[in-house]
Amino acid sequence: MKEYVVKGMTCAACVRAVEKAASKVEGVSSPVVNLSTEKLTFELSGDFDEEKLFNLVKKAGYELEEVSKERIVTLEIDGMTCAACVSAVKKAVAKLEGVSEVSVNLATERATVKYDPDKLRISSIKEAIEKAGYRASAFTNSDSEQSRLKKEAAIKSYKQKFLVSIVFAIPLLIIAMGHMTGLKLPSFIDPHMNPLNFALVQLFLTLPIIIAGRDFYLKGIPNLFRGHPNMDTLVGLGTGAAFIYGVFATVQIASGYHNYAGDLYFESAGVIIALISLGKYFENLSRGKTSEAIRKLMNLAPKKALVKREERFVEIPLEEVEAGDVLLVKAGMSIPVDGTVIDGTASVDQSMLTGESIPVDVGEGSKVTGGTVNINGAIEIRASRVGSDTVLSKIIKMVEEAQASKAPIARLADTVSGYFVPFVLVVALVTFVSWIALGYGFTFSMSMTIAVLVIACPCALGLATPTAIMVATGRGAGMGILFKNGEALETTHKVDAVIFDKTGTITRGKPQLVDFKVLNGFTEKEAARLVASIASRSSHPLDRAILDGYEGDLLQVSDFQAVAGGGISATINGGKVKLGNPGFIGTTGKEVDELVRSLSELGKTPVVASYDEKAMAVLGIADVIKDSSVRAIEKLKRSGVETYMMTGDNERTARAIAAQVGVDRVIAEVMPQHKAEKVGQLKEKGFTVAMVGDGINDSPALAAADVGIAIGSGTDIAIEAADVVLMKDDLNDVVNSINLSKATIRNIKQNLFWAFFYNTIGIPVAAGLFYTALGLRLNPMIAGAAMAFSSVSVVMNALRLKRIKI
């Protein structure tokens, strides 16, 4: 069996056209096209000409793509500490045969790999990662809680390491440096009276700190020999060199060379490890806050549900609920799954999912979403979507995927980090050799080298982009704006042209009666009753709109007839009532003609009613504009974004609607299959285009745009094709999504600037570049504190996005 993706289909006619084209190709047997999955499948019955198939389908107005066999796996990576680790994992996986794409995220500690299962197994990917010095395990959504617990354990571990380190580092620092500040030490550890005791006490105080920071040596040093040095390598080499030199100096003191007591460097090793442990604790604590949005979403769904079993409701675990089950939701309870109300009424709070603060009243036949809260009343619902198929589960998956993805702007940091640590090692070596050559001695040269190794941490570089993306996507989810990936989040800030679909996007998508003008002596009450009575017998959308706008009792209707494209007629109260377009009604007079024309010019659909061939009323029916449309378009125009409205309506109606909402330009009379072409034409002019839509017919245009924005109340196909999903039916969120993207990119650029600036300034100072001219020298302990602060500052800056005004 062969399978292809079909692009450009919008309706059943498209399905027939593709099937017809495919059936003309020799070797193709029983072609079947599925509109919902947008796929063509068929059996092979002989030699098959694929090129001919592609050409025939293209001639029919559609495009084919081969279905990719590639799979995507998400792996949780243990042991990554900086951007160099990210680069090492990425390189180890990317060189495997069968891997087409790999993305590694330091903030989420996950790798996403796209690979060909015919050429590669997941076990081989894990093995490559482990050879690079890290641990990998497959990750699924069900592992989120376990992952959270693992991160909490990591935070606790760093806290314990810091506490152990600081308990010993404080007395170590006092003993090592106190006598230099005038602090008198007890005689038995005074460096002038008992230099050996002075050294031994520092050695024994440093040992527990070294043990607490053993990961720097057990992980960092081996990574150097694997060819993937990272932050742990730099810290391990720097503090390890200081410690080993201290041990050497202690041996020398024991041998009678008391002059070594002046520079032991135990305090440098101990205090640096303590400060870095503190930095890692705060960094992990802050990074834990970046995924709060996911945890809040996951906590929306209850763990158990009341399900009907043999005429009574029993409590069962949520994962055991199946589609078709009847559930009871009492006041105050969260709705467990997506479903339809079959009994009872209630007010439902949807704010956590949509951001809409006003509760929604639901009753029999109403759709409800899992994770929303029943404020009052009791309802019975029939489950329609359970498990991973619920809206809440899909939102969680979408946000997780967005947080795990990388924005294109991150490529710069990825590229730099691959060369950064080796560069630092070379600088450290050159620093040591240079100062030795200049005659400054081993101790001074060692101090400069340690400072270089410790200050040049690439942590800030690796965290700059992913933390900002995590916080921003979480903030967006809380506002009801779902970015599907980092690329969408980045591209949105460049948008300078927005195309709005009309029906269901700018307008409500449901006709409403907005004008009712009576004529020829009829009263409004009398005419409305007659019109509503005849409309009640019709299922036409315009007639349903008329009936929805009427409150009152109806009259008996007989001899009802409907004329396609014209209108309806019936006998009511012994008279002939007709309702339809002016042509169907017949000669109506000048006043009716003027009313019809004025309504048409305003973009409304005119409907005329007559009684016994006498014009009774002229009705104006319109697809009412959403309250948010005018405000949103005004905000976009103020920010310099060009606005377009695209519709299949005639030019006059489209321009009337556009004038009401203030849209700059109108693209009217566009067939669904041509919407993507219009988007392409605008892109060719140099615009970064966002397409906003809600229907199946919008999906090709959503996919063709630089940023596709789907209204959450729209179809699943439209949502699937989009890059951004708006959970609220509010076009102001189009503006908010652009503003959030701008704020995020601004935040990322700030992070990257400070990460690069910090290292650009810090490394030369640590290497002593300004020492001979200005006497400027960086103590290794200060370098350690600065390194720890750099990572924390980047994460804290990213966390500002949680509170920034959009």
The model's confidence at residue 46, banded by pLDDT at 50, 70 and 90, is: confident
Same domain, 609 and 513: yes
Give CA torsion, residues 632, 638, 641, 642, to 10 deg.
80
* Cα–Cα distances in angstroms (integers) from residue 542 to residues 98, 768, 805, in the given order: 57, 82, 43
d(CA 139, CA 75): 5
Q: What type of residue sits at position 161?
A: K
Does residue 397 fall inside a structural domain?
no
Residues 6+ positions from 207 with CB-CB distance below 8 Å: none
Q: What type of residue sits at position 343?
A: D
Same domain, 58 and 104: no
Same domain, 367 and 264: no
d(CA 290, CA 682): 37
Does residue 358 fall inside a structural domain?
yes
262 or 209, which is more confident: 209
- pLDDT given at position 181: 65
CATH number, domain with residue 111:
3.30.70.100
Q: Is the pLDDT of residue 724 over 60?
A: yes
Least confident of 193-197, 237-241, 322-326: 237-241
Q: Are 448 and 779 in contact (CB under 8 A)?
A: no
What mean pLDDT is predicted for residues 648-659?
A: 80
| Per-residue DSSP letter, 638 | H
Q: Which of 34, 66, 98 corresponds to the end of one domain?
A: 66
Backbone angles phi, psi at 299, to 5 degrees: -80, -5
**Catalytic annotation, pick one of 232, 414, 501, 694:** 501
Task: Please provide the average confidence, as pLDDT, over all residues in the chain.
Answer: 82
Same domain, 632 and 686: yes
In 3D space, the residue among 582, 570, 559 whose CA is nearest the CA of residue 611 turns out to be: 570
d(CA 359, CA 372): 10
- pLDDT given at position 294: 61
d(CA 240, CA 261): 19
Does residue 708 fall inside a structural domain?
yes
Same domain, 499 and 631: yes
Give CA torsion, residues 52, 53, 56, 61, to 10 deg.
-140
- pLDDT given at position 660: 86
Mark out the alpha helices in 662-713 (DSSP H runs): 675-684, 699-704
d(CA 358, CA 335): 17
Q: Is the pLDDT of residue 444 over 70?
A: yes
Does residue 679 fall inside a structural domain?
yes
Q: What HEC string does 288-303 produce? A: HHHCHHHHHHHCCCCC
The side-by-side arrangement of strands in the sheet containing 707-711 is 481-483, 724-726, 707-711, 689-693, 497-501, 642-646, 665-667
Residue range 533-591, pLDDT digits in tens: 999 888 787 888 888 888 888 889 898 888 877 889 999 988 999 998 888 887 667 88
- pLDDT given at position 326: 92
Q: Is 605 left (phi over 0), alpha (psi -120 to 50) or beta?
A: beta
Residue range 181-197, pLDDT digits in tens: 667 888 888 888 888 99
609 burial class (0-12, 13-18, 19+ CB within 10 angstroms)? buried
Does residue 116 fall inside a structural domain?
yes
Same domain, 243 and 386: no
Structural domain span for residue 10: 2-66
- pLDDT given at position 498: 93
CATH number, domain with residue 338:
2.70.150.10
Same domain, 82 and 61: no
Does residue 432 fall inside a structural domain?
yes
Q: Is the pLDDT of residue 264 over 80?
A: no
Instruction: Name 44's bridge partners.
Output: 28
Residue range 335-352, pLDDT digits in tens: 999 999 999 988 888 766
d(CA 186, CA 209): 23
Chain-centre distance for alpha carbon 439: 56
In 3D space, the residue among 398, 286, 407, 353 whose CA is nearest the CA of residue 802 turns out to be: 286
The helix/strand/coil state of 138 is strand
Chain-centre distance for alpha carbon 666: 31
Q: Is the pLDDT of residue 665 over 80?
A: yes
Q: Which of 719, 738, 757 corresponds to the end of one domain?
A: 738
Does residue 465 fall inside a structural domain?
yes
* Cα–Cα distances in angstroms (integers) from residue 75 to residues 78, 161, 280, in the given order: 10, 27, 23
* First and final C-alpha spacing in the chain: 51
- pLDDT given at position 643: 92
Same domain, 18 and 152: no
Does residue 399 fall inside a structural domain?
no
d(CA 116, CA 25): 29
Q: Is the pLDDT of residue 608 over 60?
A: yes
- pLDDT given at position 203: 93
501 in catalytic set: yes
Same domain, 518 and 652: no
CATH number, domain with residue 727:
3.40.50.1000
Same domain, 150 and 201: yes
* The two three-digit tokens of residue 314, written as one number: 């029993």
Q: Are 109 and 136 in contact (CB under 8 A)?
A: no
Q: Which of 624, 658, 673 corresponds to the end of one domain?
A: 624
Q: What type of residue sits at position 608?
A: V
* The two three-digit tokens of residue 224, written as one number: 């150097």
Same domain, 115 and 35: no
Domain count, the chain: 7
Same domain, 370 and 468: no
Residue range 453-468, pLDDT digits in tens: 777 766 666 667 777 8
